[in-house]
Amino acid sequence: MLCRDMECIKGVIRRILEEEGKESDVDIQITDLPYNQLSVLEGKVVKINSLRYESMSIQSGNESLIMSTFLIIAILKAIYRDDNEVKRVLETYLKDNGIASKMLNML
């Protein structure tokens, strides 16, 4: 899974949520949140912390695999609110992404 734009990430999330039997129509916003909060689900909008997003972008050199993995994890954490569930979902649907579980532990 390598996404270079937000529409691709939305598609990945939509497919995962449909497979999981969850509401799959979510929107994504990069916005101001308290620094210790990675993401939050408000209605059908997942809000991702803009400072954490920018920091990850700078640290990774905006590398597509790292950034798309970061965004997918942030979205899943907002929806599931349970790291064990997020880990299960990552292992089920992104098993070919070797950095996903390592990044989950970092975030």
63 lies in some domain: yes
Q: How far apart, in Å, are the Cα atoms of 50 and each of 36, 60, 74, 85, 96?
A: 12, 15, 11, 24, 27
1 lies in some domain: no
73 lies in some domain: yes
20 lies in some domain: yes
pLDDT at 7 over 70: yes
Compute φ and ψ for 59, nearest 5 degrees.
Answer: -60, -35
Please give the pLDDT value at position 18: 96
Sign of the Cα pseudo-torsion (4, 41, 24, 80, in order): positive
Q: How far is CA 103 from the centre of its chain?
A: 10
Number of domains in the chain: 1
Please give the pLDDT value at position 105: 72
Comparison of pLDDT for 78 and 24, the residue scoring more: 78
Looking up residue 17, the CATH number of its domain turns out to be 3.30.2010
The domain in which residue 82 lies consists of 6-106
